[in-house]
Structure 1
Amino acid sequence: MRRIFLLSLEIILLTSLLPAPQAAAAPALQSGEPDSGSVLCPTGLYIDAPDDCLPLGPSAYLASLAQTGIPWPIRPLPAYKPERALANYPYNYFKVEDTGTYVFPSLTSAASDATSGWRIGPGQTLYVAYQERVEIDSRIFYYLDNGGWIRGDGARVGQYDPPFQGLLFSSTPRNTFGWVLQQVESRLTPGYAGAYTGRGYYRFNVVQVYATQSADGVDWALIGPDEWLEARHVARVEPRTSSPEGLAATRWIEINLFEQTLTVYDNNRLVFATLVSTGTDPYWTRPGIFSIYQMKPAETMSGTFEADRSDYYYLEAVPWTMYFDDKRALHGAYWHNKYGYETSHGCVNMSMGDSHWLYNWAHEGDVVYVYDPSGRTPTDPALYGAGAP
C-alpha cells in the first residue's frame, strides 16, 4: 500500500514539471478582399469606405481618377460654337506679289503698258480688297474698293474651310481646357518614355486639362484617363470666377500672352474664349490694363519698321478693328491662320469669325487686360512703340 502511494506521488511531481500545453494559434486576418462572403459596392465614387460593401473594382478605378483630378462622371464643357455665318469674309481679298503693283485710275490705263501712278509695295505683306474681277484678252484686272484698278499679278484670298472659331459658354467651366496646337498622339504616362495610346489629336481640337505634371524637364497635361500631352502642345485657359487682382470691372476682355488665348467675361462669368496671335519679339503686345477707345468695322493698315522698308506691309479692309493701346488693336486677320502662335507686330490677331463676334459684343470703354503669367514679356514702356498688325 505504501509503495502505491509513493508511486502516485512521483507521477504528480513529474507532471507538475512538464510545460503547460500551448493554445492553438488564431488564424491570421486576411488583408484585402476576402475570398468570399463580401459584397462589392455599386459602381460609384466613395469618399469614405462604406460599412456594408467593398468599394473595389470599378469604384476603386474611379477613386484613382479622382485623385488625379478627373471627376466622375466626366463632365463635357458647357460650350458651343458661335454662328458659322460670323466667319464669312465681309470683303473679297487679293494678295499682291511682293514686288508690289501700280494702282491705276481706269481699266484702260491698267490694261496699257503704263508703269506710273500710285504704287503699293514692294513689301512682304500686301493685300487689297476688291469689288470686281475683269478678264480682257486673257489678262486679269481687279477693281478695288478704293476705286482704283490693278493688274492681276498675285492671287485671290480664299476663306479657310472649316474656319477656326472659338467657344461660347453657357456657364463657367470647372476645370482648365484648351486647344491642341499641332497634330500629336497622347501617351499613357507623362514623359517621353510613356507608351503611346494610339489616339491622335489634331490642330484646333478642344481638350479638357485635369492636371499638369513635370517629367523629363517639361510639363505634361492630363487630358483624360491615362492620356497625357506635352503642355506646350495645348493652349490652355484657366477660367476665372472673379476679376484679376487690380481690376475692378466685372466685364472685361483678357489676353494671355503666354498661352496665346483670349477670354471674355461678363458679370464675372466666362462667356467666350479663343486662340489669338499677338506680337513677336521685339514687337510685343504690351502687358497692362487698357480700354477700347475706338471701334471701326474696317481699317486700312500700312507701315514699316526697318530702315530699308523690307518689312513694309499694306492691308486693306482689316475687319472688326478695336483699338485699345495706341495703334495696337484687336482685329480679324484674313492673311494667316496661325492662331495660338505669336505672329503680329503688336496687334491681337483673331480669326474672322471670332473678331466679328467680339466686335458685336464689345463697346468702346470696355476693359482689355493683357498679361503674361510666364513673365517673359517685357514691361518697360521704353521698349514699346505704337504697334502694328
Structure 2
Amino acid sequence: MTDLVARPDADASSPDDETSVIQTDAETGDATAYEWAPAEPARKKRRLWLWIGIPVAVAAVGLGAASAVVIAPGTSIGGVPVGGLTPGAAAEAVEQRMADTTIVLTSDAGDAEVTGAELGATVDAQALVDAAFAARPAWNVGEWFAEPLDAPIAIDAAVAGGALRSALPGLYVDPTDSKLAFDVESATYVVTPSVDGEGIDVDAVHAALADAFAAGDARVTIEATTAPVDPERSTYVADATAGILNRMLDSAGFYVGSDRAVPVERKTLASWLTIESGDRGTFDISADANAIAKAVKGLPAAVHRAPVDATVIVNSAGTVLSTPTAGVVGRELDSTAGIAKAYAEQLANGDAVYALPVEETPFKTTNLARMLEVDLSEQRLYVKENGAVVDSWLISSGLPNTPTYTGHYTIGYKTSVQTMRGYDRDAQGNITGEYETPNVRWPMYFNGGQAFHGVYWHSNYGNRMSHGCVGMPEWRAKQIYDWAPYGTDVWIHA
C-alpha cells in the first residue's frame, strides 16, 4: 500500500510543494521506505470551445472554397467518375479513359485488341467537363450523385480502318477503284466501274467502344463482323467526271461569239488533257499549254475573213420576204499572246469553249423591193426591182368574158406543177362548160384562182387567151417563180 503525505514544511499554497510517498509493507504494516513526490499542480481552465472551433472553422472554410472549384460528388461523364475533381483534372481523366478503353476482337482469322487511341477515337472532354461543372458545382448539393452525363464519341474512320486492318489483316479484301480513260475508237471518255472491298465493320466497333465507355468498362470483347469497304474513287465520281470531259469534247474550240470559228478535234483535245487521281476520291484534270500553243499559232489565219454584204428582198412596206445573200461579219485576230495558257486553265476547270478577242467589221445590207407589174393594154409583164425594170416580156391575160382583174396583190400559194380546172363562160359570163388542164408548170397565185404560170398549149403571147390567169412560156414562168418569193407585190392595171 502506498500513501501520499505532505512534507511538514510544505506550504499548502505553493505550487512547488512536494508530496512524500510512503511505502508500507502489506503484512507487517511497517513503513519501509518513503520519498517526496512533487505535488500535482492545480488544473488550469481549458477553453475547449476554442480548440474545437478552430478546426471546424478551418474545415468549413476549406469545404466552401473547394465547392467553388470542383465538380459535385457522384458526377460521372459517360462511365468516368469526375466528382470532386477540378475541371482540368476531370478533362484529363475523361480523355485518358477514352484513350485506354480497349476493344478485344475475336474472329476465325484470330483475335486482336485495339485501344480508343489507336482507333482515332475522340471525345470533347473539355467541353463536357465545362458543361458538367457549370451545371453541377460541388456547392449545389441538389446535384450530388445525379444521373451520368452522356459523352458522345467521335471516331476517325480512316484511322480506325487502318488500325483494324493492321490488327486482323486476314479479314480484309481490297476494293478496286473506278478508272477513267479516253477510248480512241469511240472518241469518248469511258468508265471502268469500281468494286467494293471487305473489312471489319468500323461502325460496329465504334458502337462497342461507345457502349464500353458509357458503362465504365475499360475492356470489352466483341466478335469482329465485316462490312463492305468503299473504294477511294467510286463509280459515280468517275461517271460525273466522264460527263464533264465528254461535254468538253462536244464543244471544244475557239469561238467568236456563238460561232465556233476554229473547232478542236476530239482526239486532239484528249491528247492535251491529263486525268489523274485527286483528293478525296476525285479526278483532277490538267492541260498541256505547250501542246495547245502549237494549235494557237494557226488561229489568225483560220479566224480571219472579209465581211460579206447581205441582200434581202422586201415588199413595198419594207417587210423582208427572203434573204438571197446572208450578211457575214468580217473579223481579225491581232494577237495570240497568252491564249494557250489561258485555254489550258479553262480546260482544267472543265470549260472547253474559248472566246477569242477579235476585231469585227460589220457588213452592209442591200434591200431589193421587187414587183411583178402587168400592163393589160400592152399584154406585157414588167419585172421590177427598186422601181427599175430589170426584165420584160409578152404575156397572155384573161379573155373579155374571163378577165384578169386589176389591182394590187401579193404572191401567195406557189407550186411547181398542178392540174388546173375551171369553167368556160360566154360573153355574158354564163357558165358554158368545164375545162381541165394537166401538168401546168410553175403557177403562182396572186388573186384567188388567178395566177402566173407557164403555157405549153399555145404561143400566142401578146393576146388575151386565158380564163383569167397570166400565161407565159414555161421557162419565163420558172424565171419569176425563182425570182419572186411569197409576199412579192403584184400590180395589175390596164
Give the TM-score normalised by the residue count of structure 1: 0.31
- Higher CA-based Rg: 2
The structure whose residues are more often helix, as a share, is 2
**Which one has more relative contact order, counting CA pairs under 8 Å at least 6 apart?**
1
